[in-house]
C-alpha cells in the first residue's frame, strides 16, 4: 500500500512493526552477490504507535537517513482472494473495492484498498485470473500517517506480514520449485506459498507462539495436531489450485528450542521440513550484539526491509 514517496536517501530500507511484544526496527541493504547486510536490528518495549515513541526512534537511530516502511499486524487489515475484474489497470482498485464490499468486517467506504496479482500458469491457456485484495480501515491508516508526519519520520510505504514473509521465502526457494514458509508470533501462525519470488497463497493458523511454548505437553500436542491438519489441508488445496507448481519443502521460522515442531512435522508430512537460520539469509556481521531472540522478534521487519530498492 504505497502512501507517498520521499526523495531517495541512503541505500536500503528501514522497516518497523509495533506489536504487543514491542517495536521491531531494522535496516537492510542489498549487497551485490552477497547476503543482504543488516545495519540495524533492535527491539524496544513499545506496543503502540505514538509521536513520542516515533520521535525517540528517529533521534536514536537517525531514521531520516533511510526510506522507511511500516508493517501492519494481523487483525489490522483483511487479505482476500477474488477474481480479477475485467477492467483496465487504472480502474482495478475501484472495481475491486466494489467486489469486496460485502466480504469486509468494516465498511468499504471507510477502507483503503490495494491489489496484488497472483500469477497464472504461463503454459496454460488464458483463463480467469485471481488477485489478492488487501483492505484496511482508512481511519487507522490515517492516524499512523498523521503520527509519523508529526514525528517527522519519513515513512514511504505501509506493508503487511504476508509480503514480508514472501521476501524472505524468495531467498530460500529451490530453482523451479515452490516452497511453503511457516512462522509464528503472538497473533498466530502465518503460512505462505511462494514460487519464483511471487506470493500465491497465504493462510493464518490460530495457534500463537506462547501456546506452542507452554510447558503442558498434552496441550502442546493438541496444538501440533491442529497445525499439522491445517498444513495438510492447505497443501492439498494449493496442489489442486496451482498444479503447475511443485512444493519442494516447508521451512519454519526459528522457534524456541523446547518447542521442537520441526521433528513433529517431519514425521507427519510428506515433504522435507527444516528450520531456517536468519544468519544464512542475512549478514549480521555489523551487529554482533543482535541476539537470536532479537533477530527472530524482528522476523517480519527483516522481510519488509528486503523491499526492492527501486520502489
Domains and CATH numbers, the chain: 78-137 (3.30.1490), 174-275 (3.30.420.40)
Task: Provide the sign of the torsion angle of the four alpha carbons 278, 282, 288, 293, taken in this order.
Answer: negative
pLDDT confidence of 3, banded at 50, 70, 90?
A: very low
Cα–Cα distance, 284 to 38 (Å, whole number): 5
78-83 vs 22-29, strand pairing mode: unpaired
Q: What is the mean pLDDT of the chain?
A: 91
Q: What is the pLDDT of residue 311?
A: 57
Residue 201 and residue 116 in contact, taking contact as beta carbons nearer than 8 Å:
no
| Residue whose C-alpha is closest to residue 244's, from 127, 146, 166 | 127
pLDDT confidence of 47, banded at 50, 70, 90?
A: low
Cα–Cα distance, 281 to 172 (Å, whole number): 8
Give the orientation angle of helix 138-150 with respect to helix 51-61, to 10 degrees.
50
What residues are paired with 117 via a beta bridge?
Answer: 131
Cα–Cα distance, 224 to 9 (Å, whole number): 45
- Residue 35: CB atoms within 10 A of its CB come to 16
H helices, E strands: number in the chain: 10, 13
Q: What is the pLDDT of residue 5?
A: 43
Secondary structure percentages of the chain, helix, strand, coil, to 5: 35, 30, 40
**Which residue reads 498466530 in cell numbers?**
188
Question: Residue 149 — φ and ψ, nearest 5°?
Answer: -65, -40
Q: Give me the half-sphere count of Cα atoms (radius 13 Å) on the Cβ side of residue 187.
A: 17
Helix (H) or strand (E) holding 146: helix 138-150
159, 175, 221 from 195: Cα distances, Å: 20, 9, 31
Q: What is the pLDDT of residue 2?
A: 47
Q: What is the pLDDT of residue 27?
A: 97
Higher-confidence residue: 303 or 144?
303
**Which tens digit of pLDDT belongs to each residue from 156-204?**
899 999 999 999 999 999 999 999 999 999 999 999 999 999 999 999 9
**Which tens digit of pLDDT belongs to each residue from 218-259?**
898 999 999 999 999 999 999 999 999 999 999 999 998 889
Q: What is the pLDDT of residue 25?
A: 96
pTM for the model stands at 0.93
Amino acid at each position: 500500500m504505497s502512501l507517498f514517496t520521499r526523495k531517495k536517501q541512503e541505500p536500503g530500507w528501514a522497516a518497523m512493526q509495533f506489536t504487543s511484544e514491542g517495536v521491531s526496527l531494522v535496516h537492510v541493504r542489498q549487497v551485490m552477490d552477497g547476503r543482504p547486510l543488516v545495519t540495524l536490528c533492535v527491539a524496544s518495549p513499545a506496543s503502540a504507535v505514538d509521536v513520542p515513541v516515533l520521535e525517540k526512534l528517529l533521534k536514536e537511530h537517525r531514521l531520516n537517513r533511510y526510506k522507511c516502511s511500516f508493517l501492519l499486524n494481523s487483525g489490522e487489515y483483511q487479505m482476500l482472494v477474488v477474481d480479477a475484474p475485467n477492467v483496465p489497470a487504472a480502474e482495478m482498485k475501484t472495481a475491486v473495492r466494489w467486489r469486496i464490499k460485502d466480504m469486509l468486517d468494516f465498511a468499504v467506504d471507510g477502507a483503503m484498498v490495494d491489489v496484488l496479482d497472483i500469477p497464472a500458469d504461463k503454459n496454460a491457456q488464458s483463463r480467469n485470473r485471481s488477485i489478492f485484495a488487501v483492505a484496511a480501515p482508512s481511519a487507522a491508516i490515517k492516524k499512523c500517517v498523521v503520527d509519523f508526519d508529526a514525528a517527522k519520520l519519513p515513512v514511504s510505504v505501509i506493508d503487511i506480514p504476508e509480503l514480508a514473509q514472501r521476501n524472505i521465502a524468495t531467498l530460500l526457494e529451490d530453482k523451479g520449485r515452490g516452497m511453503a514458509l511457516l512462522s509464528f508470533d503472538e497473533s498466530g501462525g502465518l503460512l505462505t506459498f511462494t514460487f519464483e519470488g511471487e506470493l500465491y497463497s497465504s493462510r493464518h493458523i490460530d495457534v500463537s507462539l506462547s501456546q506452542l511454548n507452554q510447558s503442558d505437553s498434552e496441550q502442546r500436542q493438541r496444538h501440533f495436531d491442529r497445525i499439522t491438519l491445517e498444513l495438510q489441508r492447505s497443501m492439498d488445496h494449493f496442489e489442486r489450485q496451482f498444479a503447475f507448481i511443485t512444493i519442494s519443502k516447508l521451512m519454519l521460522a526459528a522457534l524456541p528450542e523446547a518447542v521442537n515442531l520441526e521433528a513433529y512435522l517431519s514425521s507427519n508430512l510428506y515433504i522435507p521440513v527444516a528450520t531456517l537460520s536468519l544468519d544464512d539469509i542475512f549478514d549480521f556481521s555489523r551487529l554482533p550484539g543482535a541476539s537470536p531472540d532479537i533477530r527472530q522478534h524482528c522476523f517480519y521487519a527483516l522481510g519488509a526491509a528486503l523491499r526492492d530498492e527501486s520502489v
